[in-house]
Amino acid sequence: MLDRVKLFTELDRVAKDLFVDDSDAFKKLLADWKKLCADPLLAQKVKTAHVSWPLPSWNEKINDACAVSQSMGAYHVASVDGSQIYPDRHMGVSCYLINTGTVVLHYDDRPDRVHFSSLPSLFTGLEEDHLHLELSTELVNGKRQDLELRGGVALGFELQKKVNSDPFLLLFDGSLIFWHLEAKDMLYKELFFSRYIASLMALYSKRILTASYISRPKSRELINIIRAYRCNFNEANEKADAGPIRFSDGSIARTFLQEGQRTIVFKNHAKISAEYPDAVHPHFFYLHVGHEIGRVEIPAWVARDEQLVNQVAAMILDQSKKGYGYPVALAEAHEQAVVKGADREFFYQLLARMGMQRNVASSMSLKLAKKRGMGI
């Protein structure tokens, strides 16, 4: 059990690092940002910068605040989310479960305006056996995102036929930039990247409006511009004692966005983004939904159409209002997908029962047995 007295001592020990007064540092950051915004050559300087960190590109005034429509007519939104039970070596059975939750919300006059569903999928790890990949959390996470995207494609294709000419948005949670594949073994990248791109291209082929939303984003692409400015756009000039910038893009966006406004659209230039087909190259903008600055990511074919960008922003803003600060479609999809403790126990009990029915004794580890039946 947790020793609360010792916990207090530990918190007191690290309090100076957890609760830092950054007000002076932010004033300097904001002063640099304002100088950059006034530089007519900024976009060109960023384009030719010699730095290793990703810098975005853009076509309009960098700190423009774009109004988002707050009066929505009929529209439709669908969302897909996934949750999982990772392989547990203490169970003695090599498998994992991914539960995919979907929600469809129709904002029109039809009688059946809400649809919820979930689909459990069980995997043994042998599906990718030819690649000799270890059954790991990385493999499960990659498979979960694959199922989310493919589920979105199937859902989008089905719903596109039912919504007539009303705006329809397929909204994902998280990023459309597959950052996690940059740092993974090449085998994981080879396995999943092409699948993810195939899903995005399938949505593009049917022109299904697609976006992802990131709550409280930690991204620093705008901050990276300030960092580049401080070293005169050449990483070789960066001071050794410069230290990390503790702020995210949201802190900058909040200084020039009011509730119901968005930034201009930026093009992402992360290393992995260069491998995307042109039509689905990741772009993003920041949106002030009231309680927070959210990050919205969209494929290039959407980003290049101002009307579509405005539709996406308006629907996500409306969803955030309905969800008290967070898009309600994403929240409901998560509720459909999440695997709770009771579900996890049911899954393990079902595995054990099926093993007995097939005359295969359960090989649950003594450690797990002890946890489930603690005795003194």
pLDDT score of 42 = 97
Residue 372 confidence (pLDDT) above 60: no
Cα(375)–Cα(16) distance, integer angstroms: 41
Cα(176)–Cα(179) distance, integer angstroms: 9
**Please, which residues have CB within 8 angstroms of residue 260's CB and are 6 or more apart in sequence?**
67, 68, 70, 288, 290, 317
Residue 30 confidence (pLDDT) above 80: yes
Instruction: Decide which of 199 and 368 is more confident.
Output: 199
**How confident is the model over 91-119, as a mean pLDDT?**
90
pLDDT score of 231 = 95
Residue 375 confidence (pLDDT) above 60: no
> pTM for the full model?
0.90
pLDDT score of 93 = 67
What residue ranges do the domains of the chain occupy?
Answer: 66-337, 341-371
Interval 202-229: pLDDT, tens: 999 999 999 999 999 999 999 999 999 9
Interval 338-367: pLDDT, tens: 999 898 888 888 887 887 787 665 555 445
Q: Tokens representing 275?
A: 């491998």
The Cβ of residue 166 has, within 10 Å, a number of other Cβ atoms equal to 13
Instruction: Decide which of 35 and 21 is more confident.
Output: 35
Q: Which of 201, 166, 171 is nearest to 278 (CA)?
A: 201
Question: Is 224 strand, coil or helix?
Answer: helix
Angle at 215 between CA 209 and CA 221, to 5 degrees: 85
Residue 371 confidence (pLDDT) above 60: no
